[in-house]
C-alpha cells in the first residue's frame, strides 16, 4: 500500500494508461494485420483476373508488381503434370487456397481458362505475413510513443496539483513553536479549505489555552506577591526585636526562604511578561546595547566587589539594537547574575559588546566551574538547575533570557571555556544590529 497520495495517484493513473495503451495496441495490431492480409488476397485475385483475361502472360511479368512481394504465376496445364506439388495444386478447386511451393507454405488463387488449361497465382505466406506484420507495427507505433509522453504529463499534473499541500506543510514546519497566526486560505485549492480551517481552529484554541495559562501564572504570582511582602515586613520587624539566639537563627532561615520565594515570584512574573509580548510588537525602540549593560553592571558591582570578583568590560563598543530597553536589561541582568552566582571569590567576569558586520554581539564569560557536559543542553529549560545549584536560584533565569532573545530575533549559545588551567562558562548572544 503506497502511503503517499502523489505516489498513489501516479501509479494508478499510469496503470490505467498502460492497460488502455496495451489493449488498444493489441486490437489495433490485430485489425491492421487482418486488413493487410485481406488487401493482399484481393491483389492476388486481381492478378488472377488479369491473367485469365489474357492481360498478363508469363512469369516475368509479375515481377513488375512488387520486387519483394514474390508473386508467381504457375501454369498447370490441362491435365495434372510437372512436379508433385504442381500435380497437387491441379487437383485443388478454383478459388483462394493455402498450399505449398518448393516446400514452403504459399497462398494461391486457382483458375481454369475457357480452353480447360489451369493456372495458379501464388504468394509466399512468409512474405505476406512479414508485410502485414510491418503494416500492423506501424499502426501501433504512435500509441507506443504516446504512452511515455502521457506518463510524463501525468507526473507533472499530479505534482502540480499537490504542490499547494507541500507548500502548506513546509510553511507549518518552518514555524516557530509559538507562532499561532492563522494559515492563509487564499491561493489554496478549495478541497484544502476545510482542512486548513480546522488547523486554524486548532491553532486558535491552542493559542487561547496558552494565553490562559500565561495569565494564570502571572495572576498567581501577582496575587502571591502581596501576602509575601507583608510576611517579609513582619519578619523584618521581628529582626529588630530582641530575640534569643536560637530564635534569631530560625528567623534567618525564615528570611532566606522568603527571599527565595520572592525571587521565584519575580522570575515567574518576568517569564509571563516576556511570553506575552508578541514577536512583531517587540522591536520598538532603537537603543544602545552597551548602555543597558553598563546600567546592569553598575547595579551589580557592589555585590561583585564584596565577593572580590573582577566584574567589568573586556570590550565595549557602542552598538545599536532594536527592542525594548527593559528586555535587554532583564536579559543581561540574568546572565551576569548567573556569572556572579557561579564564580568563586577572586574570580573574573568579562563582558564584551561589539558589532560584527550586521550583527550585534554580547559575550559574558566567567571563571566559574562551567556546566557539566551532559547538562549544557538543558540549561535553557524552565526550572532546570543542574546537579550543583547555587544560592537562591529557581532555574528560570535562562528560560527568561531565551524567550527575550527569541522575541528580539537573536540567537544564544552557551559553551564551557576549555583552556588549560581555566574553567568557566561563555555565553554569546547575537542580535541583528540596528542601522548605524
Ligand atoms: N555562569 C554559569 N556557570 C555555571 N553554571 C551555570 C551558569 N549559568 C547557568 N548555569 C547553570 O544553569 C542552570 C540554569 O540557570 P538559570 O539562570 O536558568 O537558573 P538559576 O540561575 O539557577 O535560577 P534563576 O536565574 O531563576 O535565579 C543553573 O542552575 C546552573 O546549573
Ligand atoms: Mg540565573
Give the CATH number for residue 72: 3.30.450
In a 3-state reduction of DSSP, which class is residue 103? coil
184 located within any domain: no
pLDDT for res 7: 87
Mention every residue, 6+ apart, whose C-beta is less than 8 A from residue 257.
none
Poorest-pLDDT segment among 8-22, 185-199, 372-386: 185-199
Same domain, 333 and 348: yes
Tell me which of 236, 255, 274 is where a domain ends: 274
Ligand 1 site, CB within 6 A: 263, 267, 334, 338-339, 342, 366, 368, 370-371, 379, 384-386, 389, 393-399, 425
With the most atoms of ligand 1 within 8 angstroms of its CB, the residue from 304, 395, 415, 429 to mutate is 395
Q: Establish if 285 belongs to a structural domain.
A: yes
Name the domain boundary from 113, 147, 181: 147
Distances, alpha carbon 99 to alpha carbons 36, 75, 106, 237, 411, in Å: 20, 15, 5, 132, 93
Residue 108 has pLDDT above 90, yes or no: yes
Query: For the chain, how many structural domains are there in total?
Result: 3
Q: How far is the CA of 398 from the centre of ligand 2 (A)?
A: 6
Please report, for the domain that includes residue 216, its CATH number: 1.10.287.130
Do residues 303 and 269 both lie within one domain?
Answer: no
> What's the pLDDT score for residue 165?
86
Nearest atom in ligand 1 to the alpha carbon of residue 368 is 3
* 298 and 420, same domain (yes or no): yes
State which of 274, 308, 338 marks the end of a domain.
Answer: 274
Does a structural domain hold residue 215? yes
Q: Which ligand is nearest to the CA of 382?
A: 1
Instruction: Compute the distance from residue 316 Cα to the ligand 2 centre, in Å.
Output: 23
Are 260 and 300 found together in one domain? Answer: no
Query: How far out from the chain centre does Cα 353 lie?
Result: 38
Cα of 404 vs centre of ligand 1, distance in Å, is 16
Average pLDDT over the chain, rounded to whole?
89
Q: Which atom of ligand 1 is nearest to the CA of 424?
A: 3
Between the CA of 265 and the centroid of ligand 2 the distance, in Å, is 14
CA of 425 to the centre of ligand 2 (A): 13
CA distance 281 to 21: 61
Residue span of the structural domain in which 220 resides: 191-274
> Which residues are within 8 A (CB) of 81 and not within 5 positions of it... i.e. 6 or more apart?
87, 90
Nearest to 393 by CA among 431, 320, 317, 341: 341
Instruction: Give the pLDDT score at 35.
Output: 95
Q: Are 345 and 301 within one domain?
A: yes
pLDDT at residue number 169: 87
User: What is the mean pLDDT of the segment spanning 410-433?
Assistant: 94
270 and 295 within one domain: no
Instruction: Return the residue matching grid coordinates 568557566.
Output: 424
* pLDDT tens profile 195-218: 899 999 999 999 999 989 889 988
Do residues 286 and 411 both lie within one domain?
Answer: yes
Amino acid at each position: 500500500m503506497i502511503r503517499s497520495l502523489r505516489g498513489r495517484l501516479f501509479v494508478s493513473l499510469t496503470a490505467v494508461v498502460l492497460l488502455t495503451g496495451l489493449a488498444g495496441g493489441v486490437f489495433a495490431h490485430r485489425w491492421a494485420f487482418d486488413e493487410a492480409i485481406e488487401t493482399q488476397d484481393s491483389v492476388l485475385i486481381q492478378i488472377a483476373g488479369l491473367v485469365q483475361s489474357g492481360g498478363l502472360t508469363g512469369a516475368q511479368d509479375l515481377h513488375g508488381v512488387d520486387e519483394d512481394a514474390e508473386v508467381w504465376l504457375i501454369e498447370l496445364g490441362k491435365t495434372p503434370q510437372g512436379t508433385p506439388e504442381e500435380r497437387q495444386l491441379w487437383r485443388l478447386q478454383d478459388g483462394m487456397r493455402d498450399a505449398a511451393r518448393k516446400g514452403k507454405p504459399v497462398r494461391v488463387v486457382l483458375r481454369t481458362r475457357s480452353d480447360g488449361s489451369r493456372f495458379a497465382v501464388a504468394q509466399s505466406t512468409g512474405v505476406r505475413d512479414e508485410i502485414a506484420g510491418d503494416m500492423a507495427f506501424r499502426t501501433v507505433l504512435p500509441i507506443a510513443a504516446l504512452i511515455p509522453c502521457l506518463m510524463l504529463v501525468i507526473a507533472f499534473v499530479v505534482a502540480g496539483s499537490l504542490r499547494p499541500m507541500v507548500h502548506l506543510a513546509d510553511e507549518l514546519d518552518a514555524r516557530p513553536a509559538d507562532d499561532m497566526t492563522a494559515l492563509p486560505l487564499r491561493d489554496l485549492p478549495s478541497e484544502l479549505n476545510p482542512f486548513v480551517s480546522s488547523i486554524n481552529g486548532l491553532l486558535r484554541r491552542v493559542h487561547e489555552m496558552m494565553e490562559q495559562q500565561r495569565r494564570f501564572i502571572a495572576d498567581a504570582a501577582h496575587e502571591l506577591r502581596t501576602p509575601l511582602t507583608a510576611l517579609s515586613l513582619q519578619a523584618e520587624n521581628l529582626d529588630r526585636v530582641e530575640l534569643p539566639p536560637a530564635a534569631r537563627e530560625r528567623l534567618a532561615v525564615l528570611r532566606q526562604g522568603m527571599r527565595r520565594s520572592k525571587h521565584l515570584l519575580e522570575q515567574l512574573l518576568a517569564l509571563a511578561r516576556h511570553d506575552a509580548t508578541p514577536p512583531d510588537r517587540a522591536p520598538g525602540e532603537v537603543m544602545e546595547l552597551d548602555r543597558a549593560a553598563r546600567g546592569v553592571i553598575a547595579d551589580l558591582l557592589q555585590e561583585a566587589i564584596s565577593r572580590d570578583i573582577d566584574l567589568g568590560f573586556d570590550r565595549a563598543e557602542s552598538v545599536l539594537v532594536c527592542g525594548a530597553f527593559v528586555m535587554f536589561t532583564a536579559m543581561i541582568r540574568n546572565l551576569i547574575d548567573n556569572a556572579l552566582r557561579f564564580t568563586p571569590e577572586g574570580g573574573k567576569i568579562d563582558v564584551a559588546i561589539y558589532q560584527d558586520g550586521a550583527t550585534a554581539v554580547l559575550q559574558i564569560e566567567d571563571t566559574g566551574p562551567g556546566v557539566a557536559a551532559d547538562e549544557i543542553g538543558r540549561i535553557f529549560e524552565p526550572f532546570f538547575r543542574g546537579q550543583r545549584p547555587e544560592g537562591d536560584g529557581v532555574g528560570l533565569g535562562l528560560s527568561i533570557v531565551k524567550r527575550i532573545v527569541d522575541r528580539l530575533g537573536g540567537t544564544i549559545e552557551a559553551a564551557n571555556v576549555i583552556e588549560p588551567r581555566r574553567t568557566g562558562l561563555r555565553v554569546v548572544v547575537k542580535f541583528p544590529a540596528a542601522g548605524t
